[in-house]
Structure 1
Amino acid sequence: MFIQQLYTSCLSEAAYYVESNGEAAIIDPLRDVSEYIELASSRNATIKYIFETHFHADFISGHLDLAKITGAPIVFGPGTQTRYPIHKAADGERFSLGDISIEVLHTPGHTLESSCYLLRDEQDRPHAIFTGDTLFVGDVGRPDLSSGHLSKEELAAMLFESLNHKIVVLPDNVIVYPAHGPGSSCGKQLGPETFSTIGIQKQTNYALKEQNMDAFIQAVTEGLPEIPQYFPINARINKEGYGPLEEVLKKGLQPISVAALQQKIAGESPVLVDTRPSAEFGNGFIPGSISIGLDGRYAEWAGSLLPFNAEIILICHDGKEEESLIRLARVGFENIHGYLKGGFSAWQKAGAPIDLIIEVEADELAMDLPHDPNLLVVDVRKSAEFAEGHVQGAMNLPLADMNDPASMALFEDHHNIYLHCAGGYRSIIAASLLKRQGIHNIRNISGGWNAIKEQTGIPVEKEASMLN
């Protein structure tokens, strides 16, 4: 028996390769499936099954392309309705895989069709459970991403039953392999590890502590973060289906000259996405372009901020075009119409107009703050981060909210805007969005909140009402 977790950090997503005696199964694959095929080939194994724990909301699954290439059936749990062929498994149904088997445990609660897959070893003993978004390390799946017309409280009640009747009754030594790790928006307080055991989770996971249903519902439904805008879109795509990734690549990997891009900007208003590191973007960029660097949680921020129906043109370092495109496709973007040939340097060499973002040190903010009545500190971290500590009098405008037109109405011509996040990645994105909206009196604070807190004596405060 061989198990490999295939973890993608920028999405906090875990897919799994399970193999026994030359037969393999893939659980919750990402859209770009070459890694799974190459792994099976390197081990002289045949992919026999593709298991999906539920309709994922935070990424596009690779089940359709993988099924087309391998001929393996796509397995979902009870109650699943799709527009493409699947094997709809029954609760308790077992699938043989070499000398082991995989048993379906229907565990509704995160979504209605959510199911876990219990791996039984060669002696038919429970060995590991692939829990999808039902159970994480330190948390459980949020119950407000309903795949039906149920409230989060109703789904939480289902999740309580699923956990207590299907999960905690397993032996303590059973390994827990979830679909996500820390940083995922599919839960609210995922732990730092990407796997655990049933016994450890019973001891440490707040949602598995002995409590009645009402207490559980309150615990898992309070304090849930906002649902990213792309989650419902991705869930619908995963349910209804999508075209082959190779077609997205064919359309998106088309080089565009500087002259041709200038014509497009003048006539079609495409969305220019610059995937260079944020520090490079700040030193010079094409006016109106949006910074979302590959060096951060690129796909998540793209899904949260970019319009899905707009034509996208990529601005990348040479050799990073395919990676930039594939990572967008992972969260459902398909309307990508090429990339700037030669990247930003080609634009610069052509003498085309450029813009930049003024960078200031934290101590410069400390000097300016007492003397400039028009200075406005804008903190683009999440509300929970802001509540834990922020510059006294700062405005909290989380980056995920910056596409709301009402957000732009908060700024006036006389404001001198000083932007920051925790370290700098998000604030550069925010600066690019503001500049795209015609707001240019912006300074980005180098090092963000970390530098403000550690290098200055600027008065700070906590948001007590948000911490209670």
Structure 2
Amino acid sequence: MIIHQFYDKGLAHASYAVIRLGKMIVIDPARDPQPYYEFAAFNNADITGVIETHPHADFISSHLEIHQTTGATIYASKLLGAVYPHETFDDGEVIQLADIKLRAINTPGHSPDSICVLVQDENGNDKALFTGDTLFVGDVGRPDLRENVGNITAAKEKLAHQMYHSTRDKLMHLPQNVVVYPAHGPGSLCGKNLSPDLQSTIGRELRENYALQLMDELTFVKTLVADQPFIPKYFGHDVDINKKGAEPFAKSIASVPKIKHNASLQTGVLVVDTRPQDQFKNGHVKGAINIQDGNKFETWLGSIVGPDEVFYLIAADELSMDTLIKKAAKIGYEKNIKAALLSPTTGLEKLPEVDTEDYTFHPDHYTVVDVRNWGEINEGKIFEHSISIPLPELRERLNEIPTDKPVVVHCAAGYRSAAASSIVAGKITTVPVYDLGEAVTEVGNQKSEIGD
């Protein structure tokens, strides 16, 4: 038996292939199916099945495309309400893969329709558990993503109660040597305390996972619901797409229009400029938002831009453009791209540079906006007089920023403040808008030294 993990660092997403005697099953595949085809070919295996542990919120799955291309059967819980061709796969049901078995375990908690998949070897021994978003290394799945979307909706407290029983009544009774293969690693917004490790065992999780420690049900619910990270705008959108099945990946990205760099852009259409912040500050389309290409581009695109918004995509070069279209497609946003283009060279605006010395010694001369996440803000402000508006909320709360003084925007390291300052500058034009950028650490330390 071969078990192989495919890992997308940008979305902190893990998918899997299980191969036995020339047959292969894919579990929770990413949007681009090509890596699974190549792995099957390398191992002289035929893809015979695709399992969806639940309708994913944070990425688009290629389950339907794999079925259409290979004829593989899609398996999902009957509770999912899938409208694509599939076979239901619920408690006790088994997929026979040559001489090994994959057994379904219904584990509601992260979502009402979550399943885990237990692999039993040719001798009937429990060997591996694909846990989807139910059990992570060091955590369990957040329970607050299905209050308004999906075939079944449920309050977060109800799902947290279900997670308590899924873990205590089912998963924690499995043999301790069973290897745990989750659908996410660190950086995923599907949990709050994920370990850097990408696999574990039941025994290790029993010892180290805070959510599996001895506690009563009400304490568990209170603990699980508290302090979950923000929910990106695109999450509900992706649940709905995955319930139906997405269009073929290559065809969909190829349909994105590409236009000349100095082409006229339609007024009123959002512009997303993905170039590095220094290039953006030196010249950009009026009103553009600077969401830089990077490891978390997909997450920030889907957190700042709504799933119903159309936008132009500006890239630094042709190679970056193609990469960014693919990244947008991973969260189902390729259809939102009105057109992709390289940076225009005419009619550009610049962002001013902040005088950090003046800001350090005269902070009262500025309105300071802290765009870090609530978890960071609750641990303490960097500048006491700042206004707290996390980046995912900023576009909806711009009217809360006073315009009687220059505005300084900061985060923890510079990436988010680059996006945030561009958003603020696109709306507030009566006073300068500055990005404190990477200088936030230096300025914060200086202010501590002078007693601010």
Query: Where on the TM-score scale, by shorter chain, does this alignment land: which range?
Result: over 0.9
Change (3 A) 1:458 1:392: farther
Q: Write the mapping of 1:201-240 to structure 2, written as runs, cut at 5 A.
A: 201-240=205-244
> Any stretches of 5+ residues in structure 2 without a counterpart?
none
Q: Which amino acid aligns with 1:55?
A: P
Q: Deviations over 1:292-315 (max 9, x none)?
A: 122141111111111333332221
Aligned-pair identity (%): 36
Say whether the 8 Å CA contact 2:109–2:161 is kept in structure 1.
yes
Say yes or no: does 1:4 pair with 2:9: no
Q: Report the secondary structure of 2:6's partner residue.
A: strand
Q: Report the secondary structure of 1:239's partner residue.
A: helix
Change (3 A) 1:57 1:460: farther
Q: How big is the alpha-carbon RMSD for the aligned residues of Structure 1 and Structure 2?
A: 2.0
C-alpha distance in 1 between matches for 2:451 and 2:135: 37
Change (3 A) 1:441 1:192: same
State the shift of 1:72 in Å.
0.5
C-alpha distance in 1 between matches for 2:73 and 2:353: 53
State the shift of 1:427 in Å.
0.6
Say yes or no: does 1:75 pair with 2:61: no
State the shift of 1:259 in Å.
4.3
C-alpha distance in 2 between matches for 1:68 and 1:459: 65
- Aligned match of 1:353: 347
- Aligned match of 1:297: 296
Say yes or no: does 1:336 pair with 2:337: yes
Q: Report the secondary structure of 2:64's partner residue.
A: helix
Q: Report the secondary structure of 2:127's partner residue.
A: strand
C-alpha distance in 1 between matches for 2:228 and 2:17: 31
Q: Deviations over 1:379-437 (max 9, x none)?
A: 11111112223212122111010121xx2112233221111111111111111211222
State the shift of 1:227 in Å.
2.3
Q: How does the TM-score come out when normalised to structure 1?
A: 0.90
State the shift of 1:179 in Å.
0.8
Please identify runs of 4+ aligned residues in structure 1 that moved more than 3 A: 364-367, 448-461
Q: Write the mapping of 1:258-273 to structure 2, written as runs, cut at 5 A.
A: 258-260=261-263, 262=264, 264-266=265-267, 269-273=268-272
Aligned mate of 1:381, from 372, 387, 410: 372
State the shift of 1:455 in Å.
5.7
Q: Which amino acid aligns with 2:299?
A: E
State the shift of 1:458 in Å.
5.8
Say yes or no: does 1:188 pair with 2:205: no
> Any stretches of 5+ residues in structure 1 without a counterpart?
462-468
Q: Deviations over 1:239-273 (max 9, x none)?
A: 13333333422221x3212443x2x334xx32222
C-alpha distance in 1 between matches for 2:98 and 2:48: 10
Q: Deviations over 1:114-161 (max 9, x none)?
A: 000111223221111110110111111111222434322211111111
State the shift of 1:45 in Å.
1.3
Change (3 A) 1:65 1:211: same
C-alpha distance in 2 between matches for 1:258 and 1:294: 18
State the shift of 1:366 in Å.
5.0
State the shift of 1:208 in Å.
0.4
- Aligned match of 1:87: 87
Q: Which amino acid aligns with 1:430?
A: A
Say whether the 8 Å CA contact 2:107–2:114 is kept in structure 1.
yes
Deviates more, 1:47-56 or 1:79-88: 79-88
C-alpha distance in 2 between matches for 1:387 and 1:449: 18
Say whether the 8 Å CA contact 1:104–1:115 is kept in structure 2.
yes
- Aligned match of 1:409: 399
Q: Deviations over 1:86-107 (max 9, x none)?
A: 1111311121223422111111
Say yes or no: does 1:133 pair with 2:127: no
Q: How does the TM-score come out when normalised to structure 2?
A: 0.93
State the shift of 1:180 in Å.
0.9
Q: Which amino acid aligns with 2:298?
A: A
C-alpha distance in 2 between matches for 1:454 and 1:371: 15
Say yes or no: does 1:152 pair with 2:156: yes
